[in-house]
Amino acid sequence: MLVKLLISLTLLGGAFGQKNSTGGLVVLNDSFYLTTVNVINRANGTGEGYVLRYSFNGTLLDRVQIGGRAQLPAYHAGGLDTDGTYLYVPLAEYHSGAACGAVPNCTLPGTSYIYLVTPDLKEVKLLFTAPDHVGGLTLSGCDTNVIDGNTWGSRTFYRWSLPDGKLLGKVKNQNYMFEYQDCKALTSCSVQVCSGIKNFQYQRRRDGLVGDQTVSVVGNSTGNIAFQSGGLALVDPVTGIAITQVPVPAILTPLGNGLTINPMWVTNSFNGTTGFRFLFAPDDVKGSVVVVKPRTP
């Protein structure tokens, strides 16, 4: 793959606080749209979710907070999508759906708010709520009356009607090779492209081999070996079945992340040129948008 480091986007700090992680990426006309999360205090369920609009040269043009005090503990702005007119943005509670800890007003598996946002970021409207952690939204490639959603680690796929959010489908993801972080529709009705990662932790064993988490570590808790794999998959959102999965080579970003750790956009036309491209926004904090042009054989 030919990889081009396109641009460096510095995600905002200041009012955005201590933790700025990327949740979604959309390209619309001449702008990048990113969702970000500012975790203020995960233990007490406070944080802020934002949609940011950048020009292709990395200048921040607009920003808006989605949700607010009344939506807490939901502040996890996730994988957004666009129909060309509006942005569809999910806001979820910041947990995997398994445990709430002591977070006030936390629900299991979670409560998510699905917002419609205008591209100038001036209007934000709540479309519907969903009783789970909706980490990413994907508009259908062929049906403007439905929207798909995936949960934390994409363990469940949902389909809802638009604009009322009536539940049309819910399936378990049967694939475990990696966890999809973001999915986008292709022109096909039944296939999405999803990108994601899988983290592995191995502990060092006394005998020098690696593996087996139950074996005690050689007197050093920092001696673990971490390994991150990841890739792209073509997934049928109705059945949740991956039609194919391909690993993405371990190309590291300036902050040392795999490309597919955070959001992804796929396009046939970008910045005045046509051709199939993936865009990724892997790095939190001081983020970059990376454009990947698959090599033609």
Ligand X SMILES: *[C@@H]1O[C@H](CO)[C@@H](O)[C@H](O)[C@H]1NC(C)=O
The residue behind tokens 């973001």 is 182
**Minimal distance in Å, beta carbon 205 to ligand X?**
13
**Minimal distance in Å, beta carbon 272 to ligand X?**
6
Using the rule CB under 6 A, give the single segment among 56-64, 132-140, 206-214, 248-256 that binds ligand X.
56-64
CB nearer to ligand X: pick between 50 and 180: 50
**Minimal distance in Å, beta carbon 17 to ligand X?**
7
Q: Which amino acid is at 64?
A: V
Using CB under 6 A as the binding rule, the residues of this chain from 261 to 290 that contact ligand X are 271-272, 285
Gap between the Cα atoms of 221 and 204, Å rounded? 10
Q: Indicate the helix (H) or strand (E) that contains 22.
A: strand 21-28
Position 8 contacts ligand X (CB under 6 A) = no
Is the dihedral angle over the CA atoms 23, 267, 54, 258 positive or is it negative?
A: positive
Position 36 contacts ligand X (CB under 6 A) = no
> Which one among 8, 105, 188, 199 touches ligand X, defined by CB under 6 A?
105
CB nearer to ligand X: pick between 242 and 261: 261
Closest chain position to ligand X (CB): 13
Strand pairing partners for 137?
A: 149
Position 59 contacts ligand X (CB under 6 A) = yes
Among candidates 138, 136, 152, which has minimal Cα distance to 94? 152
Position 104 contacts ligand X (CB under 6 A) = yes
Gap between the Cα atoms of 27 and 12, Å rounded? 19
**Minimal distance in Å, beta carbon 190 to ligand X?**
27
Q: Are strands 81-82 and 273-280 parallel, antiparallel or unpaired?
A: unpaired
The residue behind tokens 């980490």 is 135
Residue 36 phi/psi, 5° resolution? Answer: -135, 160
Binding footprint of ligand X on the chain (CB under 6 A): 6-7, 13, 18-20, 28-29, 40-41, 44, 46, 55-57, 59, 72, 104-105, 119, 220, 222-223, 271-272, 285
